[in-house]
Structure 1
């Protein structure tokens, strides 16, 4: 009788151990699936905002594991920076990191077009010989490329590094080239 009870308890423990092994992967798969379904992302450029009052807010839609597209909005609140007052940057990204848990993470290359409005302060002498400051507002278009990397945790928080360069096409800006990039903090939902 004692051996029968021991045998039954052994069978029950083996049954429960197999049942637990089957449930664990399903739980992990449901977490991965939930993270994989998160495709909307909002980010804020941290260094520009803290250092110079330059707001850089980005939205991205991650449409596949290897690509995403979005738009960034730039607003300059610092009067000492004249060249860029307002900007809109649509972009398309190619991701090179593959992860079964997340879409759109790891190293990326980005193609963008930077549409921006700025001011070019020029200092001249007028006809009376007085020193005058002239504020010329301009509109400029700058296509360019950027590279960077993005990290995401399981709760959806995003950390991204990006650096890029573009060329002003219209010749309105005093600068021929522009640089873009920042350290971004965001959330994917």
Structure 2
């Protein structure tokens, strides 16, 4: 975990002095569930950007509604369809290295299958819109879905990606 945080910090530091870089925080995840989703995005040109998102789930395992994933690293590429002063619409291709734990299965009060830890990688598509104010404040909403590719016996088949984020461009 420390290595992943270090890599994420290094990635931000390398692009921090570049113009058109953004750091965003997903408010939907914080307000609705006890999760943290922080993103760094670098604008390549007027029509494309790349980014990296780190997701950490703090929600208890016995909560009725929670993400199955405990931790995710999600690199993404965005192609902007519109470039206006309003909301810019984009399409997104992303990968998701995700870690989690399966649910324990019981029948007639007896444990049939114990929970297992898993890691998997998903590829997915998404879409959304983003507005950057004149002062550099960012408001964004996005939605997407990816499919896990490697550990199908243990991990979930699909990985959701959605949020409402705010941030700052520098």
TM-score range, shorter chain: 0.7 to 0.9
| Distance in structure 1 (CA, Å) of the matches to 2:42 and 2:104 | 41
| Distance in structure 2 (CA, Å) of the matches to 1:54 and 1:116 | 14
Moved over 6 A (4+): none
Change (3 A) 1:130 1:50: closer
Match of 1:131 in 2: 110
Quick check: 1:152 aligned with 2:152? no
1:127-177 Cα offsets, whole Å, 9 max, x none, are: xx9834722100011100110000011000000010001111121445312
Quick check: 1:180 aligned with 2:164? no
Gaps of 5+ in 2: 1-17
Quick check: 1:96 aligned with 2:81? yes
Aligned pairs for 1:44-123 within 5 A = 44-79=25-60, 80=63, 81=66, 83-99=68-84, 106-123=88-105
SS in 1 for 2:29: helix
Larger Rg: 1
1:48-86 Cα offsets, whole Å, 9 max, x none, are: 111111111000010101000010000000013361000
Gaps of 5+ in 1: 1-36
SS in 1 for 2:69: coil
TM-score (norm 2): 0.78
Q: How many residues align?
A: 147
Match of 1:7 in 2: none
Structure number with the higher helix fraction is 1
Match of 1:168 in 2: 148
TM-score (norm 1): 0.71
